[in-house]
Structure 1
Amino acid sequence: MADAKPVTVCHAPIPLAASHDSNARRTMWVVLLTAVTMVGEIVAGYLTGSMALLADGFHMATHAGALGVAAAAYAYAKRHAASGRYSFGTGKVGDLAGFTSALLLGLVAIGIGVESVVRLAHPTRVDFGDATLVAVLGLLVNIVSAVLLSGGHGHSHGAANAAHDAGEHDHHDHHHAHGHDNNMRSAYVHVLADALTSIFAIIALLAGRYLGWVWLDPAMGVVGALVIARWSWGLLHDTAGILLDRTDARLAAQLRAAIEAPGDVSILDLHVWPLGAAAHAAIVTVSSAGTVPVATIRERAAIVGGIRHLTIECA
């Protein structure tokens, strides 16, 4: 081998996703919209004495808090992107925020599920008029929020596709290789979860008001809790994989093929993992019977896009 020393090729600083600033602005607008709605509902609840308005107002407060985590993550990642404190940049800050939001979403699902089961066993009086008004208002706010966030979600998924993303883990590598933003995804799923509960609530409240099906309200709560829990689990699975440096199998296969294709080099050890939505890192240990320069191996690896930090070790 012409060069027996480990050679590191590093593109510094590791960049944030191209859509980072746009996604940050979208998220901040949704936070402001949610906060204004929250204040309006709480004030209206106190003035009218409507517990339904008050309850939804405080629910919107938790929603605003979760979205605030996403907005704060964007700001922190941008502020410290070029800081030497982080060896591989701040690309994973968004995934950390997404993981946190997924945990909060899971807790919300558990709370909704438990309360719904209790109400199935012990039905309570429902003010169908006020409650329907609140549900419609919440749905409208979430539709506007979803429109604001959909442009930064990567593929403009609707509710069905978001659920598909959350459940189809086999496509994990595909999404992240194309710059999938889990921080934006977590905000989007929060909005979808809220919209879903509003839709289920409207259906149940109308059925209770006009058909007398009071049991449908808590039944819809159980269904909503199960769907939200599934989205939460999918988001937890994907963000945990990023935080734990899960191997990007698709990119690793491409890198192996590019380096070994001429037949004069064999890979002894290979590690490829995501650094966030915009970049990957790779460590490659190679062996060659001939004298293949490291520069040649580096050129072959450069064919594979998305690797921003590459270490080549010659055994």
Structure 2
Amino acid sequence: MTDHSARLSSPHEHIFLGDNHERNERRTWIVIAITATMMVAEIAAGSIYGSMALVADGWHMSTHAAAMLIAALAYLYARKNARNPRFTFGTGKLGELAAFASAVVLALIALLIGWESLLRFYSPVAINFPQAINVAVIGLGVNLLCAWLLRDDHLHHGHGHHHGHSPDPDHDHARPHVHDHGEHAGDNNLRAAYLHVLADALTSVLAIVALVLGSLYGWDWMDPAMGIVGGLVIARWSWGLIRDAGRVLLDYVPADEELPEEIREVIEGEGDRITDLHVWQLGPGHHGAIVSIRTAVPQEPSIYREKLAHIHELSHVTIEVEKAA
């Protein structure tokens, strides 16, 4: 007895986008516009006034703008194809793919910063401290504004969740199940864009510290030293994002994930035993599950699905029921 709820011709939709998908997409485009404007202004001003500090910072911002473009395009494509039946379980995980790519770009930026800083130790360059400090302060202000726009609210108001179950006239599964909850699922695509802005802000802060100390005490070595520190911190952020996005892409279930155990507690009992259980993330705040049950008294899959209806993270459930020997 099997509930086939993932067919291409399935009558229900598989939209597993994050709760704030459109808001996050809109804010990402705004941040890209701000970053690109600042980038063009710095490169133009640096070329006109002969400031390599301005030109370098402008091109540095361009790499982050390009990385954030990955996030914005992923939001756009996922939204446009949310109802495309060719995506068997929707486009909710496209953001994880974009986050993984952005994390790789962030790692490359960390390597470049570290390499350039090492070169500066062996080949110091003359620094125009007042001008460089002004550039760093302006850049920090822009980055803080962008970071505020890309902040991820960890808590939000309750909302309706649509569980993509197959319609069943006997149990009224055509009606969406609605559950209120306050826990906000993290959006790694937004996190990737946020980390790029944060990385830029970090380099600005470290640059300001190094430049102020250099101008006051003549510690020119502080500039490349802070660059290496910044590169190491950004590399660590990158690794964390690669790890988290990669886990979702590979359907990895973290050791502290309570959802599988919660499903077992609900289903098992009175002779019902789960013989096979698969749980994976479909998108921010959405999980899918395949539950194989062996029981002496088989019931309709809809009965077991009703038992799981209160688990708001479950947005798509496939139930298989086998009669025990």
Normalising by structure 1, report the TM-score: 0.87
SS at match of 1:309: strand
**Whole-Å separation in 1 of the counterparts to 2:262 and 2:287:** 13
SS at match of 1:81: coil
SS at match of 1:247: coil
**Matched ranges for 1:198-213 at <5 A:** 198-213=204-219
Cα contact 2:275–2:294 (8 A) shared by 1: yes
Deviation at 1:303, TM superposition (A): 2.4
1:263 counterpart = 2:270? yes
Query: Which amino acid in the other structure matches residue 296 of structure 2?
Result: A
**Aligned counterpart in structure 1 of residue 301 of structure 2, from 275, 294, 297:** 294
Deviation at 1:129, TM superposition (A): 2.1
**Whole-Å separation in 2 of the counterparts to 1:278 and 1:20:** 11
Deviation at 1:121, TM superposition (A): 3.3
Cα contact 1:34–1:64 (8 A) shared by 2: yes
Hey, what does 2:72 align to over in structure 1? 71
Cα contact 1:30–1:148 (8 A) shared by 2: yes
SS at match of 1:298: helix
Cα contact 2:298–2:321 (8 A) shared by 1: no
Hey, what does 1:313 align to over in structure 2? 320
**Whole-Å separation in 2 of the counterparts to 1:200 and 1:187:** 20
Hey, what does 1:171 align to over in structure 2? none
Cα contact 1:8–1:310 (8 A) shared by 2: no
**Matched ranges for 1:14-53 at <5 A:** 14-53=15-54
**Whole-Å separation in 2 of the counterparts to 1:291 and 1:270:** 17
- Can you list the C-alpha shifts for 1:191-226, whole angstroms capped at 9, x where unaligned? 111100000000000111111111111111111111
SS at match of 2:258: helix
**Whole-Å separation in 2 of the counterparts to 1:299 and 1:264:** 18
Cα contact 2:16–2:284 (8 A) shared by 1: no
1:185 counterpart = 2:181? no
**Whole-Å separation in 2 of the counterparts to 1:236 and 1:102:** 6
Structure 1 unpaired stretches of 5+: 157-176
Normalising by structure 2, report the TM-score: 0.85
**Whole-Å separation in 2 of the counterparts to 1:178 and 1:26:** 18
Cα contact 2:16–2:283 (8 A) shared by 1: no
**Aligned counterpart in structure 1 of residue 2 of structure 2, from 6, 10, 25:** 6
- Can you list the C-alpha shifts for 1:160-190, whole angstroms capped at 9, x where unaligned? xxxxxxxxxxxxxxxxx84211111001111
SS at match of 1:189: helix
Hey, what does 2:153 align to over in structure 1? 154
**Aligned counterpart in structure 1 of residue 292 of structure 2, from 282, 285, 288:** 285
Cα contact 2:2–2:301 (8 A) shared by 1: no
- Can you list the C-alpha shifts for 1:271-314, whole angstroms capped at 9, x where unaligned? 10001113111111111123343232111122222212211112
- Can you list the C-alpha shifts for 1:216-245, whole angstroms capped at 9, x where unaligned? 111111111111011000000000011111
Cα contact 1:258–1:304 (8 A) shared by 2: no
**Matched ranges for 1:184-263 at <5 A:** 184-247=190-253, 249-260=257-268, 262-263=269-270
Hey, what does 2:9 align to over in structure 1? none
**Whole-Å separation in 1 of the counterparts to 2:98 and 2:73:** 9
**Whole-Å separation in 1 of the counterparts to 2:270 and 2:114:** 58
SS at match of 2:246: helix
Cα contact 2:3–2:301 (8 A) shared by 1: yes
**Whole-Å separation in 2 of the counterparts to 1:232 and 1:264:** 47
Cα contact 2:61–2:200 (8 A) shared by 1: no
- Can you list the C-alpha shifts for 1:77-136, whole angstroms capped at 9, x where unaligned? 111000112011111111111111100000011111112122223322222122111111
Runs of 4+ in 1 over 4 A off after TM superposition: none
Hey, what does 1:167 align to over in structure 2? none
Cα RMSD, aligned residues only:
1.6
Deviation at 1:9, TM superposition (A): 4.1
Is the helix fraction higher in 1 or 2?
Answer: 1
Percent identity reads 49
Query: Which amino acid in the other structure matches residue 205 of structure 1?
Result: L
Structure 2 unpaired stretches of 5+: 7-11, 156-182
Query: Which amino acid in the other structure matches residue 247 of structure 2?
Result: G
Cα contact 1:258–1:303 (8 A) shared by 2: no
**Whole-Å separation in 1 of the counterparts to 2:42 and 2:70:** 22
